[in-house]
Structure 1
Amino acid sequence: FDDLTEHEEFAAQERLQKLHGQAVIGSMDIVTPMSQSELICTKWGKGDLKVIDGSGHMVILEEPEQISQALDEVIAEVSPRLS
């Protein structure tokens, strides 16, 4: 567990800095601390932090509609607008 809480893997940082996206976490997540998610977004550069209020670590299962909206936001940002 200590390895997971102190894990720092920034090998993808250079690649991620070229991409827009979102790091989505639950406000009640006790597995991935908010500080770690904030650090990821800082290192990412073009990644926004989206916090789903009241959700835990399994936010993708707990709030699928909000995950879909986050995906829609990222796709809209990187896709050319349709006329």
Structure 2
Amino acid sequence: MADCTQMGKGSLYARFEEQGYPITTIREEISARMPTPAEDTALHLPDGVPVIELTHTGYDGQGRPFEVTTFIMRADRNALDYRMPVED
């Protein structure tokens, strides 16, 4: 398994760009739902607490997806905060 602390200087996106995959667009899909039994156990959720599921996709200049990450978070202890430029 790769050691994530040895990624080198810069972000994960810099590593993708070095390999010829510059991320030009990002899409994040966010939903809330009740956890699966495995998520309930792993996250030590009290009864009735939902999870936030965030699926992050990075796209190259041709619009091809090449990086997908899904995050599962406790909805009672996490918040999402975005700042995005408005383009014409």
**TM-score, normalized by length of structure 2?**
0.21
- Return the TM-score normalized by structure 1: 0.21
Q: Which has the higher helix share?
A: 1
Q: Which has the larger radius of gyration?
A: 2
* Larger fraction in strand: 2
